[in-house]
Amino acid sequence: MIKKVLIANRGEIALRVMRSCREMGLLTVAVFSEADRTSHHVAYADEAYPIGPAVAKESYLNIEKVIATAKRCGADAIHPGYGFLSENSEFARRCKEEGIIFIGPAAETMEAMGDKIAARKRMIAAGVPVVPGTEQPLQSAEEAVRICNEIGYPVMLKASMGGGGKGMRLIHNESEVVEAYNTARSESMSSFGDDTVYLEKFVEEPHHIEFQILGDNHGNVIHLFDRECSVQRRNQKVVEESPSPFLTPELRREMGEKAVAAAKAVNYSGAGTIEFLVDKNRRFYFLEMNTRLQVEHPITEEVVGVDLVKEQIRIANDEVLHLKQEELFQRGHAIECRICAEDTENNFMPSPGVIKQLTEPNGIGVRIDSYVYDGYEIPIYYDPMIGKLIVWATTRQYAIERMRRVLYEYKITGVKTNLAYLKRIMHVPDFVKGEYNTLFIEKNARMLVRTNTANEELENIAMIAAYMDYLVNLEENVSAQLPDARPISRWREFGLQKGVLRI
Judge if 237 and 152 occupy the same domain.
no
Is the pLDDT at 51 greater than 50? The verdict is yes
Least confident of 25-29, 99-103, 230-234, 489-493: 489-493
> Are residues 309 and 23 in contact, defined by beta-carbon separation less than 8 angstroms?
no
Q: Cβ neighbours of residue 88 under 8 Å, at least 6 residues apart?
A: 63, 80, 110
**Average pLDDT for 289-311:** 97
> Are residues 462 and 501 in contact, defined by beta-carbon separation less than 8 angstroms?
yes
Reported as a pLDDT band with limits 50, 70 and 90, residue 502 is very low
Q: Is 450 a catalytic residue?
A: no
How much is the pTM?
Answer: 0.84
Judge if 193 and 261 occupy the same domain.
no
Q: Between 11-23 and 308-316, two packed helices, what is the crossing angle to 10 degrees?
A: 70
CATH number for the domain harbouring residue 136: 3.30.1490.20
Residue 191 lies in a domain: yes
Least confident of 136-145, 159-168, 277-286, 372-381: 159-168
**Average pLDDT for 418-442:** 97
**Average pLDDT for 318-322:** 98
Judge if 262 and 318 occupy the same domain.
yes
- pLDDT value of residue 23: 98
**Average pLDDT for 272-282:** 95
**Average pLDDT for 159-176:** 83
Among residues 167, 183, 199, the one where a domain terminates is: 199
CATH number for the domain harbouring residue 297: 3.30.470.20
Residue 40 lies in a domain: yes
C-alpha dihedral over 187, 188, 192, 198, to 10 degrees? 170
Judge if 340 and 432 occupy the same domain.
yes
Reported as a pLDDT band with limits 50, 70 and 90, residue 134 is confident
Reported as a pLDDT band with limits 50, 70 and 90, residue 491 is very low
> Are residues 92 and 105 in contact, defined by beta-carbon separation less than 8 angstroms?
yes
Higher pLDDT among residues 485 and 109, named by residue? 109
CB under 8 A, 24+ apart: contacts of 463-471? 463/357, 463/411, 463/413, 465/491, 465/503, 466/491, 466/492, 466/503, 467/357
For 158, phi then psi, to 5°, come to -130, 150
Residue 193 lies in a domain: yes
d(CA 12, CA 28): 15
Residue 478 lies in a domain: no
CATH number for the domain harbouring residue 82: 3.40.50.20
- pLDDT value of residue 145: 93
Is the pLDDT at 480 greater than 80? The verdict is no
pLDDT tens per residue across span 61-85:
999 999 999 999 999 999 999 999 9
- pLDDT value of residue 483: 54
Judge if 84 and 150 occupy the same domain.
no
Judge if 8 and 90 occupy the same domain.
yes
Closest CA to 430 of 282, 248, 243, 230: 230
- pLDDT value of residue 151: 86
Judge if 364 and 275 occupy the same domain.
yes
**Average pLDDT for 239-262:** 98
Whether a cis peptide bond, with omega within 30° of 0, leads into 483 is no
Least confident of 96-105, 314-323, 389-398, 470-479: 470-479
Number of domains in the chain: 3
pLDDT tens per residue across span 454-465:
555 666 666 667
Judge if 186 and 223 occupy the same domain.
no
Judge if 169 and 261 occupy the same domain.
no
CA pseudo-torsion sign 476, 478, 484, 485: negative
Reported as a pLDDT band with limits 50, 70 and 90, residue 12 is very high
> Are residues 489 and 469 in contact, defined by beta-carbon separation less than 8 angstroms?
yes
- pLDDT value of residue 210: 98
* The residue type at 121: K
Is the pLDDT at 93 greater than 50? The verdict is yes
Higher pLDDT among residues 166 and 60, named by residue? 60
Higher pLDDT among residues 246 and 163, named by residue? 246
The number of helices, as runs of H, and strands, as runs of E, in the chain is 18, 22
- pLDDT value of residue 439: 96
**Domain limits at 181?**
131-199
**Average pLDDT for 378-396:** 97
Residue 222 lies in a domain: yes
**H or E segment at 343?**
strand 342-343
DSSP assignment of 109-160 equals: HHHHHHSHHHHHHHHHHTT--B-SB-SS----HHHHHHHHHHH-SSEEEEET
d(CA 11, CA 15): 7
Closest CA to 420 of 435, 404, 441, 433: 404
Judge if 247 and 342 occupy the same domain.
yes
**Average pLDDT for 243-248:** 98
Q: Cβ neighbours of residue 385 under 8 Å, at least 6 residues apart?
A: 11, 12, 295, 338, 339, 340
Among residues 426, 445, 464, the one where a domain terminates is: 445
Residue 502 lies in a domain: no
Q: Which of 227, 252, 292, 338 is catalytic?
A: 292
* The residue type at 397: Q
410: region left, alpha or beta (phi > 0 left; psi from -120 to 50 alpha): beta
d(CA 9, CA 144): 39
C-alpha dihedral over 473, 475, 479, 484, to 10 degrees? 50
Judge if 319 and 428 occupy the same domain.
yes
Residue 454 lies in a domain: no
Question: How many residues appear in the chain?
Answer: 503
d(CA 224, CA 300): 7
pLDDT tens per residue across span 174-215:
999 999 999 999 888 877 778 899 998 888 899 999 999 999
Judge if 250 and 194 occupy the same domain.
no
Residue 486 lies in a domain: no
Among residues 416, 445, 474, the one where a domain terminates is: 445
Is the pLDDT at 281 greater than 80? The verdict is yes
> Are residues 192 and 167 in contact, defined by beta-carbon separation less than 8 angstroms?
yes
